[in-house]
Structure formats: structure tokens, C-alpha cells
Chain A
Amino acid sequence: MPDTLPEYTIGIVGLMRRSVSYADDLQRLGQTVVGTDVHPENRRRFEDEYSAETYENPDAMMADVDGVFVMPPSKFQEGAIITALESGTDVLAAKPMCASINSAKTVRDAAKASSAFCMVEYHNRFYNSVRLLQSLLTEETSEQLSHIEARYTRQRGVPSRGSWFTSSELAGGGALMDVGSHVLDLLFLALGSSAVEQVWAISRSEFGDRQHYSEDQVPSNSIYRFETDALMYDVEDSMTVMLQFETGQTAVLEIAWAANQPEEQIFDLFLRGPEESVYIDIWQEASAENGTLVSPVETYSVSENAASHFDSQTHTVKGKNAHQEMQRTFLRGIRQGERPDGCSVDEAVHIHRIIDAIYESAKQGTPISV
């Protein structure tokens, strides 16, 4: 059944590489796109490529749009999100939402005071495999989980080395902020309301000045890359994190923008429990064509059959374009005039709080109580 959406005008704040795919998606969904960026060159390219109107700053754009995607360098997210919320414009904010926990709390307060809503770009929620995971994890199943191994590691995937992405001041951090936030999002999704009690983290920065590091994952036509002569690199590019929850459950996270590993990318969670374990390979669905069949979820359990040593079950889903699904959900939110379920500012603030504790632990070199 076709779900036709009205034609809205969506403004993109920050016309860099990662925003471009959203403009493509929005046009495919029959929406009108406009944009704003401080760099005249980025505005010109966006105008040419999308026959779209551009503005010099978010303020000037707000009166003409029905919703905005806010995705400038993280440090400038807070200001742009608040500008939108204060003008009553619905926001889809790039994850992890802000560059710091304080900034995130300011945004949360602004969202509470606004008639508009702010949704945060945790797009993985919209994969069919993740939705299946949610349905498999009944309260009972979730409670018996004892340990989670989660990985988000790339072979060569530092985003735009030297740009704002690799500046601690502008991005708020490195691999943990960028991809680690996705892992935390799914971890909290899986464990429901369990509170984190303690974190222990070790961070590494190893690929900043590797001259022969190949940047195959950065598209060579990355015209929306931030143009700068400055080569900043003062963030972590990999991290090992251990979390302990008040329930006694534990998790180990391996996060890396770059690693000498055979797989191009690993993004999976292995949730272990004495009754049942669940494995989910998010990357399998993320790297598949929209609509093809994938089997990214498996469950393992003690067999009730005496002759069987061990039970396992593979679950097949139709691969979904999660980015597009998230945008549809956002557009429906505009239509309904209410905040869509999930991807909320409160959840983003919670992730920011744990990220902050993880950085503190890495800095001090000791476990930290949250």
C-alpha cells in the first residue's frame, strides 16, 4: 500500500559529503530540497547538482522550509538545531547530535520548550534486522542476557582525515563519537532500561600520520568534503570499551575507524545469555541491495531435545534502506505534527552521557562510575 507523502520543502544545514546522499533520497521521495552552508563553493555545487536554492545561514532559510536536516560540523549543531526549534521547524539532527554532553542537554531543553520535534539520526533502528532483534528480545530474553560483544570496526574508514571530523574540538571526539555512538544506540536498545554503572575504556590514535594509509573509503569525487588546508588530527581512531550495568550485565565494545583486518567493515552484536544468545550482523543488511534477502540474525539456545546438542536458528529478512526509511518516518512526523517514536533527544542525551564517561575513563586510565 503506497504511503504517499505530501511534498515538503526540506532544508539541509551543512552541505558536505554526508548530506548529499540525503538530498538524493529526499528528491527520490518527491521532496523539494534547499540548503545552507557557510562556504560559497559548497552552496554553488549544491545549487548546480540539485537545482536547489541555497541560503547563507540557517536563520535565512527557516521561513521557507517545513523541516530541516541539521548536519554541519558537530560543534555548530547546537546553534543550528536551536535556531530551527525556536522557529517551530522540525529537525532531523545528525548523530550523536552535539559535540558535548552540555551542548546535548541545551538542545534537549530547547526541544522540550518547542512546538516542533527533534529526531536524531540513529538510522540503524530502521533496518529490518534491528526491528527483528527488538521483537526477539522480549523482556524475559533481554533479562537473561549476561554479556554483549559489539564491534564496529573498519579496515580503512577514517572520515576525511584532517577535516573537522578528526578535530576533537570540532567533532567532540573521534571514532567513538562517529561510529561508537551507533553501537551504544543498539546496545541500549537491546538492554532496555538497564542503567550503566561503570565504564572502562582505552583509546588509541594510530592512523593520523600514516602516509601510506589508503583512503579508498573516502570517495574520490568527495566534492562536499570540507575544503581546508588545515590538517587536524587529535582524536582517537580506535577504542576498546567495557561497560557494566546495574543488573550485572556486561558489554565489550571494539570500535575502530581503521584497523588492519581482513573485512572491509564489521558491525555486529553478539548478545549472550544462558538460555538464549542472539547474534546480529548489521553490516550484512547495510551492505545489501534494498529488497534482497539477507540472513543477518541468528539465535542459539539450549536444546529441549535430549538428542540435540545445541539449537540454532537463522532468521531471514528483506534488506531495507534504513536511511530512506528514517527519512520517511521523519516526513510522516511532519505530516502528523508529532514526534515519531524512537531516535529521541532523551536517548541521544543518554548516549552522550555514556560517551562522556567513556572519554573520562580513557583519559584517566581507570574505570569510572557513571
Chain B
Amino acid sequence: MTSSSESDSEYGRTIDTVETNFAILQEIKNTDGGTISAIADVLDLSQATVHHHLATLRKIGYVKKEGTSYYPSNRFLTLGGRARKREAVFQIGRDYIEQLSDETDETVRLVVNCNDYALTLYQDTGDAVEQPRTYVGDEADLHSSASGKACLAHLPPEKVASILDERPLTQYTENTITDREELLQEIDEIRQKGLAFDDRERFPNIWCVSVPMLTETGDFLGAVTVSAPTSRRDRDWFHDEIPGILKNASGVIEVSSAYAQWTE
């Protein structure tokens, strides 16, 4: 049985147990279901600790158990749904995301920066899409996705440096950028062009194009991304046809978000 110890951080006093609790939740999310022994191994915790945490989470309805595996329950959607409802960029952006998926027939997403991960806040799929790889709540490393790189392009340089110092440039496909200098050079280009590409860098057969949007003070607001499998769309489609359509929509979301404070 662990004691409920406390730590000091930039946020004031914090409780270690809560961090352990969320580490377990992250783990069962990442592995899409986990057993007590596997979680205990990965997180270097005792099986009893993991068991107590999961039992508590089941009791309050945030975790469910199937066989010997544990999964996050739908109750998390009540938190996520509420969190998203407050976001002006979601309220304003969703209609345009739906229009874009109609227009392109492909997967279109509104992506924001959440704890320096590229989080899919809203997604809509066009008629051509049967089984999209991404979903609402999907979280990608910033270096491995078009919207993530678009975000890096508009974070302060010292913030980018600290993210790259702390996190490995994990290789997901043979095209993932794992060289820091190469990544920094690419985000420079993205900043100039207002356009980011994912050349099969996160999934081996998916490419994407993304347009960053900024707030009225020049901070990263979010990105609008179109993605499609290589089997259906070629490079020219992403480079020549989609950017114009995407910029027409992202520009409207950007400007409307700035003016949202007038209508609140």
C-alpha cells in the first residue's frame, strides 16, 4: 500500500498518487487494454498498487474490465466533451471541417496543441473514407505529423528546444524525421509557406497536408489537416489541389476565432 506523498512543483504542492493513477490510465489507453502484470512491469509498480488503482477507477466508473484486461470507459467522454465544448475554435471550426470533408471526400481534422501533443479536437470523414486511422482525442507527437510540425513552427524557439530536449524523435515509419536539424529546417519552411506536409511520416501509407492558424496575438491556435491513403490520392493532389481549399477554410476559422470575443 503506497502512502499519499506530496511533491513541490511549479504548480505548488502536488500529489504523487494522482500522477501514478493517470500514468496507469495513459498506459491502458496506449496499449488499448492492459493486464495488471503488464502495467506493473512497464510502470515499475507493484501488482498490488496497480490493482488498487484500477479497482478505484472501476468503482467510480472511469475504467472497465474485460477478461483480465482493463480499458478506459466512456465516462472520460463526459470530461472530454465538456472540455471541448468550451473551446471557441471547436465551436467555430466544426462546420468548416464538415464542409471540407464533403469537398475533399477524405479525412479532415481540427488539431490543437494539448500539452505539446497534436490533439485531434474534431474529425469528419468524407465518402471515400471507410476506416480512418485517427479519431477524436487522437494524440500525435509533434515531430511526426503535419499538424504537429505546423504547431512547432509557431511555438517560441526556446519552447521548441525544450520539447526536443525532453522527448525522443521516435521513428514511426522510414520517413519520420529523426534528425533535429532537419526538423528545425522544415519547421522554418512551414512558417514561411503557412503549409505543412506529412509525407508518410506517422503511418507508412498515409499522407497529410495541414495549415496552421494563429490567434490575434500570433500564437498557435490550431491546424486544419486533410489526410488520405497513398493508394487513393497522389502527391500532386496534396500539393496542388488541397492547399487552396484548406486555406480558404482555415483563414475563416482563424479570423472568426479572433472576432469571437466580440460576440461572447
* Contact of A65 with B by CB under 8 A: no
- B-side contacts of A234, CB under 8 Å: 248
Asked if B255 and A73 make an inter-chain contact with CB atoms under 8 angstroms apart, the answer reads: yes
The interface bits of chain A over 295-320 (1 if a CB of B lies within 8 angstroms of the residue's CB, else 0) are 00000000000000000000000000
Are B248 and A79 in contact, CB atoms less than 8 angstroms apart?
no
- Interface assignment of A336: CB less than 8 Å from any CB of chain B: no
Nearest residue (CB) in B for A209 is B244
Cβ A232 vs Cβ B248 within 8 A: yes
Whole-angstrom CA separation of A59 from B211 in the bound complex: 32
Contacts of A170 in B (CB 8 A): 251-252, 255-256
Interface window among B76-84, B113-121, B159-167, B213-221: B213-221
Rounded to whole Å, the gap between the CB of B134 and the closest CB of chain A is 23
Q: Give the bracket for the number of chain A residues in contact with chain B.
A: 20 to 34
Contact check, A75 vs B256: say whether CB atoms are below 8 A apart.
yes
CB contact between A80 and one of B214, B252, B258, B262 (< 8 Å): that residue: B262
Q: Is B259 in contact with chain A by the CB < 8 A criterion?
A: yes
Complex interface: chain A residues within 8 A of B254 (CB): 228, 230
Tell me, rounded to whole Å, the shortest Cβ–Cβ distance linking B226 to chain A. Answer: 15
Residues on A with C-beta less than 8 A from B263 are: 76, 79
What are the residues of chain A within 8 A of B250 when measuring CB–CB? 230
- The reply on B148 being an interface residue by CB < 8 A is no
B30: CB under 8 A from chain A?
no
Complex partner residue of A231 from B217, B247, B255, B262, CB under 8 angstroms: B247
Complex: A38 Cα to B217 Cα, angstroms: 9
Interface string of A157-169 (1 = CB under 8 A from B): 0000010100111
Quick check: A76 and B252 within 8 Å, CB to CB?
no
In whole angstroms, how far apart are the Cα atoms of A369 and B255 in the complex?
Answer: 35
Instruction: Indicate the size class of the contact surface on chain B.
Output: 20 to 34
Q: CB distance B244 to A57 under 8 Å?
A: no
* Interface residue? B194 (CB, 8 A): yes
Q: Mark B208-243, 1 if CB is under 8 A from A, else 0.
A: 000111101100000000000000000000000000
Contacts of A73 in B (CB 8 A): 255, 259
- Residue B9 CB within 8 A of the other chain: no
Q: Write out the residue numbers on chain B whose beta carbons fall within 8 Å of the beta carbon of A140.
A: none
Q: Which residues of chain A in 54-74 are interfacial with respect to chain B, using CB atoms and an 8 Å cutoff? A: 56-59, 72-73
Please tell me which one of the listed residues A75, A80, A228, A233 contacts residue B244 in the complex, with CB atoms under 8 A apart.
A233
Bound state CA distance, A228 and B263, in angstroms?
A: 21
Chain A residues with Cβ under 8 A from B255's Cβ? 73, 164, 167, 170, 226, 228, 230
In the complex, the answer to whether A167 meets B248 with C-beta atoms within 8 Å is yes
Asked if A232 and B247 sit within 8 Å, CB to CB, the answer is: yes
Are B262 and A38 touching (Cβ within 8 A)? yes
Q: Does B261 count as interface, using CB distance less than 8 angstroms?
A: yes
Residues on A with C-beta less than 8 A from B262 are 38, 57-59, 76, 79-80
A37 (CB) vs chain B CBs: closest residue:
B216
The answer to whether A229 touches B244 (Cβ under 8 A) is: no
Give a binary string over A178-213; 1 marks a CB under 8 Å from any B CB, 0 the rest: 000000000000000000000000000000110000
Question: A57 to B255, alpha carbons, bound, how many Å?
Answer: 15
Residue from A167, A209, A226 in contact with B252 in the complex, judged by beta carbons closer than 8 Å: A167
Bound: A229/B244 CA distance, A: 13
Q: Which of A112-171 contact B (CB under 8 A)?
A: 162, 164, 167-170
Instruction: For residue A78, give the distance in angstroms from its CB to the closest CB of chain B.
Output: 10
Cβ B244 vs Cβ A38 within 8 A: no
Beta-carbon contact of B251 and A232 below 8 Å: yes
Chain B residues positioned under 8 Å from A57 (CB to CB)? 261-262
Residue of B nearest to A58 (CB): B262
Bound CA span A368–B76, Å? 53
Give the complex CA separation of A231 and B248 in angstroms.
7
Contacting residues, chain B, for A226 (C-beta < 8 A): 255
- What is the CA–CA distance of A234 and B247 in the complex, to the nearest angstrom? 10
B194: chain A residues within 8 A (beta carbon): 229-231
Interface residues of B in 58-113 (CB under 8 A from A): none
CB-defined contacts of A209 to chain B, threshold 8 Å: 244
Asked, given contacts A39-B216, A167-B252, whether A230 binds B259 with beta carbons under 8 Å apart, the answer is no
CB A170 to nearest CB in B, in angstroms, measures 6
| Residue contact A72 to B259, C-beta cutoff 8 Å | yes
Identify the closest chain A residue to B254 (Cβ): A230
Given known contacts A232-B251, A234-B248, is B214 in contact with A38 (CB within 8 Å)?
Answer: no
Q: How far is the CB of A279 from chain B (nearest CB, A)?
A: 40
Most buried by A among B250, B254, B259, B263: B259
Docked complex Cα distance between A58 and B263 (Å): 10
User: Would you mind naming 24 contact pairs between A and B with Cβ atoms under 8 Å apart?
Assistant: A38-B216, A38-B258, A38-B261, A40-B217, A57-B262, A58-B262, A73-B255, A75-B256, A162-B251, A167-B248, A167-B252, A170-B256, A209-B244, A226-B255, A228-B214, A228-B255, A230-B247, A230-B250, A230-B255, A231-B251, A232-B247, A232-B248, A233-B244, A233-B248
Given A72-B259, A167-B255, 9 extra CB contacts under 8 A: A40-B216, A73-B259, A164-B255, A167-B248, A170-B256, A228-B254, A230-B211, A230-B251, A230-B255
B contact residues vs A (CB 8 Å cutoff): 194, 211-214, 216-217, 244, 247-248, 250-252, 254-256, 258-259, 261-263
Return the 5 tightest CB-CB contacts between A and B, nearest first.
A230-B251, A232-B251, A229-B194, A169-B252, A234-B248
A residues with CB within 8 A of B: 38-40, 56-59, 72-73, 75-76, 79-80, 162, 164, 167-170, 208-209, 226, 228-234
